[in-house]
Amino acid sequence: MKRYSAFAIAREAARYHTGWERAWRSPEPKSHYDVIIIGAGGHGLATAYYLGKNYGITNVAVIEKGWLGGGNTGRNTTIIRSNYLQDPSAAIYEKARSLYETMSQDLNYNVMFSPRGVIMLAQTEHEIRGYQRTAHANALQGVKTEWIGPERVKQLVPIIELSGPRYPVLGGLWQSRGGTARHDAVAWGYARACSDMGMDIIQQCEVTGIDKSGGNVTGIQTTKGAIKCNKLGMVVAGNSGHLADMAGFRLPLESVALQALVSEPIKPCMDVVVMANTVHGYMSQSDKGEMVIGGGTDGFNNYTQRGSFHHLEETVRALIETFPMISRLKMLRHWGGIVDVTGDRSPIIGTTPVGNCYINCGWGTGGFKAIPGSGWAMAEVIATGEPQGLAAEFGLNRFQEGRFIDESVAAGVAH
Amino acid sequence: MLILTCPNCGIAADETELHADGQAHITRHGAGASDDDLEEYLFMRNNPKGVHFERWRHVYGCGKWFHAARCTMTLEVFGTYPAQTLEPPKDLVAKIKKKRPDWEGFVK
Amino acid sequence: MSTRIQTGGRHLDRSKQVHFNWAGKQLTGYGGDTLASALLANGELLVGRSFKYHRARGLIASGAEEPNALVGLGTGAKFEPNQRATTTELFDGLVAKPQNAWPSLAFDVGAINKMMSRFFPAGFYYKTFIHPRFAWKHLFEPIIRKAAGLGAAPTEKDVDRYEYFYAHVDVLIIGGGIAGLASALAAGQAGASVLLVEQTAHFGGRAVVDGVDIDDEPAEIWVEETLAALREMPNVTIRNRTMGAGVYDHGYATVYERINDHLPEMITDHAPNMDAPRHRLWRVRAGRIVTATGAIERPLSFAGNDIPGVMLAGAVRDYLVNYGASVGDRVVIATNNDDAYRSAIALVEAGLDVPVILDARTTADGELPTLAREIGIRVETGKAISSVKGNKHVTGVGICSQAGEGAELEEIKCDAVAMSGGWSPVVHLWSHCGGKLNWDADQSMFRPDPNRPPLGYDGAGFVHVAGTANGYLDAAGVMEDAIKIGKLAAKETGHKPKATKVPSTFSAPENPIEPIWQMPQGMSRKLQMKTFLDYQNDVKVSDVRLAAQEGYQSVEHTKRYTTLGMATDQGKLSNINGLAILADSLNAEIPAVGTTTFRPPYQPISMGAIAGDARGELFKPIRQSPMHHWIDTNGGFWEPVADWRRPYCFQQNGESVGDAVTREILNTRQNVGLLDASTLGKIIVKGPDAGKFLDMMYTNMMSTLKVGRCRYGLMCTENGFLSDDGVVARIDDETFLCHTTSGGSDRIHAWMEEWLQTEWWDWNVYTANVTEQYAQIAVVGPNARKVLEKIGGMDVSADALPFMAFKDGELGGIKARPYRISFSGELSYEIAVPASQGQAFWDMCMEAGAEFGIQPYGTECLHVMRAEKGFIMIGDETDGTVIPQDLGLSWAVSKKKDDFLGKRAQQRSHMVDPKRWRLVGLKSVEPNEVIPDGAYAIDGTVRDNGVKHMIGRITSSYFSPTLNHAIAMGLVENGPERMGDIIDFPTTDGRVIKAEICDPVFLDPEGTRQNV
């Protein structure tokens, strides 16, 4: 692989950039791999990457029915944070955040990780207590967050309205090393690095069946033929139920639409990411200058990548209350993605009832920020065959045991 | 922005009048249930790509719960029917089968 | 240079001068101008700077598709960035500023990027700025962010008003060209209710510009007559300046009406009868949607095609015909189709010079080329532009063979270029909701596939496309298609179309287009680097080819890698050209490459319009108790609680919030306090099976409750977690009143209904949420009974009304139901009175209580007093993961009942784990040191992953003025077995607070104070 650098660009510029090589190869599938990962989104590619990097397993294929990075990796609001309350979540998200810090250098691909800071606003007394609790937990978990008062919020976000008529801003939970990254680049960077390790990324290849023998996976059937494998990892978000069905087990998942929108680009006016959970909205400004806005999920099962307009109305209203100046900006584009949501809204990483078959799914609305940590954890599970390390608590068995990882503790609770 | 006809009051209701609540016809497993049954009841969901039987409430209308058969890929609504039933009406199942010959049929 | 010509200008009112300010210069236009046409008429060709290279940008289009002419419009609280000059109607006093240029549009320091552009190919960000690690955030990113963005951010709160509008119609027709008008007429005549919207101020679309005749007269006459006929129809509504923004599932559409953007500010600000909102967002439900949205012309890809003065041929014609403005005096035409000849002919007829028409096709012998030659225009076939000369404006073009590599054969001086690469139907609205496209190779365009439409709720297609948008480029085809579609839409919505005569149309016939995706065919990479596809984002032919070369081969990859089509025009000009280049690079067919997804809105719409009226006080209306106003005017310090406001405390004489809370606690414990408890949920559950039902809803046994008595109950989810609590009172054999938390009333009522309707529908039970029917006032403290006795009425003595009982009666002449329940540990009556009498009863209490020291108290006093008694609070001690057994509430979980909601789940292995954290009291070793809310306890060990092992956490923490000691409640591993142990709570500021584990009931464990 030719390394990327300013010098490489200068060298290529002299020959009008005709010399750049492919970022990743586009091979035909081989007949057998040690590991097949289904799904070339961020999580699938990261899993493959850490299988190679951490365990030296490089006889790996990543199978993708569409185009790599074409699912939720490329359609989210790119927020990265690890200020989670529960231990297992804080551990995996913080691992992910720390891997984001060095990802550009690790992959030799600029993913534009921008640790500009994330504020979660507290707008009720209840939220204050909730975030103070998180701040305490984070301090012990090694996640650097702090509770800040309204004056500091205003200092960090000059365009915010502190004393809105409905919900005043009472303070916030501040994670200064949270931020954003360029979502497509994460998938592309991993794909390039995987390809460079000799892994095969096979796009436009749909899985049509899963071969088993004696309760163990032996390979898959695809639109490009049968491929054998020793181990199989399913990392396909909203399509997990469909694949699990083929493999013969059930999942505690429902797929719903999550929407986002961007404004037209304007000059920099907000340097941090702001999340306002009481009014349901979050906003950051991309490097291009667009205000990137997201809200809550739709209520019904949906695979169309379209949501309902009234959810956008609610989100925009909430954010105009919080940032009155955006009223005169224009919405450029809105879109939806399909998120797979579990019973406790935390992901599933681990073994399945089928032997040699592993699953990583259920990231719901929070998947992008987890990509490197998720890949790291999933690679460990696949390589060792055991649900251990960061993944230990995220197994499928937790639902039967009633051992939830519930991050929604600050939401929807009465006085 | 869905429209569903409430079988109780007959109104073609806008989605903003409705509350969606996931898969229908789930059997409640209460006291004495096995671990597997309890897990199935509380968590396991069909989540199909295609025909889905689901629960809705006409919350800003008559307040009644009802069931709908809807396609999660096209959002086509095959029909709605009262919630006080253990399985979808036969004529609705037949109607869906006619429109979607490949459909495996209602699976509880 | 660009200028106003003496003739023409269909829209102009030359008698009316309009003064406006552009970039600090006072300029003058005419009534009817757009900002774009007025700038052109004033010789202001340079209107903006591009996004990435800050290249000089001129007007390229005349309508919504314009990517370059984005301006900052207005000032102060009415400033709006990124407004398109082409869709901004000129008004007196308009102020517009150029964007993305510093210090000035003509001299932009950022244009240095342009010199360096060879070093900034597609994706260059991904390949550099990698080292050192900290440089991205602190060095590179700030520079890039500053250079990026377009307009300035608004700084003030928007002073304008916006509104929603709902409409239900049989047929929504989007587009007011001849297709939309003909469809509307056909549907309207059939009796369908029709809403016809046109995004510009004018109807007629291209036909009125392009010299189409209808029924042997200029199209304009037919347009006027048709509009007049439609206006006569009561079932037809017509709106101009109104754009179809988005098409959504089941016939939903958003329609964006700009009501006063075209009016001078003084009118909207000062005319009392002009109380219109700025924008109105229509939310339409239509039986059928007809998109008659026309087509957009494609640029040609030749080197230097972005230099100001290069304009779409159709736009050149628009400015000439509609606004009497010309892009230049000597205009070279470059084309691959016959339509561009219309522009050449119009220019010559206006007295301007067209030195040459460069037609990339090998032959051009149709009617229009013949006419062009006849009026003396030089036509060169098989020829192309090798490059455009000039820097900030066009000075000439080089001519080359289209088939070659670009060797210049001749240079021609000119000051403008009109180009046409053919037309692309506007299929956005068709595609928003899943409509699919076919590639029409003959016409080199994507057009809607009528067999794969967006599907409605009934599985039938609900969008039809009419006219040019449907792929008909000739007027006769448009007219026939539009009438057919109008009738079809009416028929499908239950109407009977009338037999009508299709008007005869005439427009010059056109020979086929030849697809030309780069000019010349064999252009070098060097020329490709000067050939622009996306003008705003500076994406060139070379960038798309580079993306393909590097493996970014899906159209979505290419788009994202190069930013093609991601500018504010969302690729209206660039997408088809870009994907044709991509297809060529991949040796693939265009349809195999496909398009990117079309997403709403068609054109950007204001955030204000999306929010509508729901802002400020109307954002989320506040629920108010009957005493809300009294509290507000008597020192109440509000906090938001669910949809309510509740007083945190009542401040007196300028005291602090903390002091007020302390005073309220001491006064209530020593004398008597008054609490507005009206926000508590109240649900009536009635029927022969009510007791059986409540036995399922609550963990406790409710069916055994005696009439006239109260019982504290817990509700759990089916997962076993505590979800709500409250006191249940049995009114009669078949009737219970269930109290819920303030935030829980609607949720719990819905929860009950869900079970009754969907699980136990054969049980005979009815519920009613009566929360707002009652005001509920708690009279609390040692003097509580004295206050009520002074008010007078029913017997409230301990014998007549013992603890945990209630009674119906009368107090002070008001129908009242006092409950002897206590959340404070004091003698306490919660008195429900009709909501309408709430304030009167409150006043009576205040008056009667004056001599006993009565004072109102707020939620914080309530919280502290309940914590002193060790009572749990839903939302404090619970967080959705806590079961009753964790809170020492096993006494309230019936062991006798066969089943209740959550029972089975509470038996799962994790729920019965003895290591679950359980409720205890915590007393700070240092009496004044209040443990912070949410603090965690540690035992000093460290787990495998390096995280300090946590053994518990604080759920509530206060300073108790009653005990003069800091107290807390918390969940601790093995807590109840560790009474007297001291454990550590580290704080976020690095201290460690030590606290002793104790019983959570800090005050009066025997209950002697309340049971009197």
Among B15, B35, B44, beta carbon nearest to A252: B44
B64 touches chain C (CB under 8 A): yes
In a domain, A5, yes or no: no
Distance in angstroms (rounded) separating the CA atoms of residues A376 and A398: 21
Q: What is the DSSP string of A111-166?
A: ---B---EEEEE-SHHHHHHHHHHHHHHHHHT---EEE-HHHHHHH-TT--TT-SS
B46 vs A contacts (CB less than 8 Å): 241
- Cβ separation of A133 and C950 shorter than 8 Å? no
Distance in angstroms (rounded) separating the CA atoms of residues C505 and C263: 36
CATH class of the domain at C3-119: alpha beta
C459 vs B contacts (CB less than 8 Å): 74, 76, 78, 99
Q: Check if the beta carbon of residue A97 is closer than 8 Å to that of residue A81.
A: yes
Token pair 């093995």 in the structure block, residue: C974
In a domain, B104, yes or no: no
In a domain, A50, yes or no: yes
Reported confidence tier of residue C700, pLDDT bands at 50, 70, 90? very high
Write down the pLDDT at residue C101. Answer: 81
Reported as a single tens digit per residue, the pLDDT across C886-903 is: 999 999 999 999 999 999
H-type alpha helices, C596-717: 607-611, 628-633, 657-670, 690-697
Q: Tell me the shortest Cα–Cα distance from A241 to chain C, in angstroms.
A: 22
Distance in angstroms (rounded) separating the CA atoms of residues C313 and C513: 15
- Cβ separation of A327 and C158 shorter than 8 Å? yes
- Cβ separation of A184 and C148 shorter than 8 Å? no
C88 vs A contacts (CB less than 8 Å): none
CATH topology of domain C681-772: Alpha-Beta Plaits (3.30.70)
User: Based on the domain organization, do A268 and A172 belong to the same domain?
Assistant: yes
Distance in angstroms (rounded) separating the CA atoms of residues C554 and C566: 15
Residue C269: partners with Cβ closer than 8 Å, 6 or more residues away: none
For chain C, the structural domain boundaries read 3-119, 162-295+425-492, 299-421, 524-594, 681-772, 773-850, 900-998
C partners (3+ CB pairs within 8 A) are A, B
Residue C179: what are its φ and ψ, rounded to 5°? -65, -50
C130 vs A contacts (CB less than 8 Å): 4-5, 104-105, 108-110
Among B1, B29, B84, beta carbon nearest to C248: B1
Please check the confidence at residue C116 and state whether its pLDDT lies above 70: yes
- Is beta strand B12-14 parallel, antiparallel or unpaired with respect to B3-5? antiparallel
Reported as a single tens digit per residue, the pLDDT across C255-309 is: 999 998 988 875 655 555 567 899 999 999 999 999 999 999 999 999 999 999 9
Distance in angstroms (rounded) separating the CA atoms of residues C311 and C420: 9
Cis peptide before C103 (omega within 30 of 0): yes
Domain boundary at A319, A342, A365, which? A342
Distance in angstroms (rounded) separating the CA atoms of residues C99 and C399: 34
In a domain, A269, yes or no: yes
Q: Check if the beta carbon of residue A92 is closer than 8 Å to that of residue A371.
A: no
Mean pLDDT of C947-959: 95
Distance in angstroms (rounded) separating the CA atoms of residues A139 and C860: 28
Write down the pLDDT at residue A295. Answer: 85
| Residue C879 backbone zone (phi > 0: left; psi -120 to 50: alpha; other: beta) | alpha
B86 touches chain C (CB under 8 A): no
Domain containing A397: what range? 25-78+183-252+344-410
User: Based on the domain organization, do A46 and A154 belong to the same domain?
Assistant: no
Q: What percent of chain C has pLDDT over 70?
A: 99
B59 vs C contacts (CB less than 8 Å): 750
Examine domains C162-295+425-492 and C299-421 and report if their fold is the same: yes
User: Based on the domain organization, do A62 and A190 belong to the same domain?
Assistant: yes
In a domain, A236, yes or no: yes
In a domain, A221, yes or no: yes
Mean pLDDT across chain C:
95
Q: Check if the beta carbon of residue C22 is closer than 8 Å to that of residue C39.
A: yes
Q: Where is average pLDDT lowest: A290-304, C101-115, C739-753?
A: C101-115
User: Based on the domain organization, do A350 and A386 belong to the same domain?
Assistant: yes
In a domain, B34, yes or no: yes
Write down the pLDDT at residue C113. Answer: 66
**Predicted-complex ipTM score:** 0.98
Q: Tell me the shortest Cα–Cα distance from B91 to chain A, in angstroms.
A: 23
Q: How much helix, strand and coil, in percent to the nearest 5, is found in chain B?
A: 20, 30, 50
User: Based on the domain organization, do A221 and A352 belong to the same domain?
Assistant: yes
- Cβ separation of C250 and B1 shorter than 8 Å? yes
Q: Taking CA atoms, what residue in B is nearest to A249?
A: B44
Residues of B with CB under 8 A from a CB of A: 1-2, 15-16, 19-23, 35-36, 38-40, 42-49, 52, 54, 70, 72-75
The 8-class DSSP code of residue C589 comes to: -
Distance in angstroms (rounded) separating the CA atoms of residues C682 and C724: 13
CATH topology of domain C900-998: Elongation Factor Tu (Ef-tu); domain 3 (2.40.30)
Q: Check if the beta carbon of residue A60 is closer than 8 Å to that of residue A200.
A: yes
Cα dihedral across residues C191, C196, C201, C205: positive or negative: negative
User: Based on the domain organization, do A321 and A350 belong to the same domain?
Assistant: no
User: Based on the domain organization, do A228 and A349 belong to the same domain?
Assistant: yes
Domain boundary at A326, A342, A358, which? A342
- Cβ separation of A254 and B16 shorter than 8 Å? no
Distance in angstroms (rounded) separating the CA atoms of residues C995 and C983: 6
Task: Write down the CATH number for the domain with range C773-850.
Answer: 3.30.1360.120
Q: What is the pTM of this model?
A: 0.95
- Cβ separation of B45 and A254 shorter than 8 Å? yes
User: Based on the domain organization, do A152 and A51 belong to the same domain?
Assistant: no
- Write the CATH number for A32: 3.50.50.60
Tokens encoding A248: 């013969």
User: Based on the domain organization, do A31 and A136 belong to the same domain?
Assistant: no
- E strands, C480-597, are 505-506, 532-534, 539-540
User: Based on the domain organization, do A241 and A156 belong to the same domain?
Assistant: no
Write down the pLDDT at residue C134. Answer: 85
- The three-state secondary structure class of C249 is helix
CATH topology of domain C299-421: FAD/NAD(P)-binding domain (3.50.50)
Mean pLDDT of C385-400: 96
Q: Taking CA atoms, what residue in A is nearest to B17?
A: A310
Residue C990: partners with Cβ closer than 8 Å, 6 or more residues away: none
Task: Write down the CATH number for the domain with range C524-594.
Answer: 1.10.10
B37 vs A contacts (CB less than 8 Å): none
Distance in angstroms (rounded) separating the CA atoms of residues C327 and C308: 10
**How many domains is chain A partitioned into structurally?**
2
User: Based on the domain organization, do A238 and A279 belong to the same domain?
Assistant: no
Q: Taking CA atoms, what residue in A is nearest to C644?
A: A166
In a domain, B62, yes or no: yes
Q: Tell me the shortest Cα–Cα distance from A1 to chain B, in angstroms.
A: 40
Q: Check if the beta carbon of residue C581 is closer than 8 Å to that of residue C135.
A: no
Distance in angstroms (rounded) separating the CA atoms of residues A97 and C76: 40
Reported as a single tens digit per residue, the pLDDT across C169-180 is: 999 999 999 999
- Would you tell me which CATH number, out of the four given (3.50.50.60, 3.30.70.20, 1.10.3720.10, 3.30.70.1450), belongs to the domain C162-295+425-492? 3.50.50.60
User: Based on the domain organization, do A365 and A227 belong to the same domain?
Assistant: yes
Reported as a single tens digit per residue, the pLDDT across C598-653 is: 999 999 999 999 999 998 889 989 999 999 999 999 999 999 888 899 999 999 99
Residue type, A226: A
Token pair 């020829």 in the structure block, residue: C383
- Write the CATH number for A326: 3.30.9.10
In a domain, B96, yes or no: no
Domain containing B10: what range? 3-89
* Bridge partners (DSSP) listed for residue C740: C681
In a domain, B9, yes or no: yes
Length of chain A in residues, anyone? 415
Q: What percent of chain C has pLDDT over 90?
A: 89
C615 touches chain B (CB under 8 A): no
In a domain, B69, yes or no: yes
Please check the confidence at residue A165 and state whether its pLDDT lies above 80: no
Please check the confidence at residue A414 and state whether its pLDDT lies above 80: no
In a domain, B73, yes or no: yes
SS (H, E, C) C822-870: CCCCCCEEEEEEEHHHHHHHHHHHHHHHHHHCEEECCHHHHHHHHHHCC
* CA C903 to chain CA centroid, nearest Å: 42
Tokens encoding C526: 């060097």
Distance in angstroms (rounded) separating the CA atoms of residues C396 and C416: 8
Please check the confidence at residue C218 and state whether its pLDDT lies above 50: yes
- Write the CATH number for B56: 3.30.2270.10
Long-range own/partner contacts, residues C987-991 (CB < 8 A, 24 or more apart): C987/A136, C987/C932, C987/C935, C988/A135, C988/A136, C988/A139, C988/A146, C988/A147, C988/C932
Please check the confidence at residue B105 and state whether its pLDDT lies above 90: yes
Residue A180: what are its φ and ψ, rounded to 5°? -140, 165
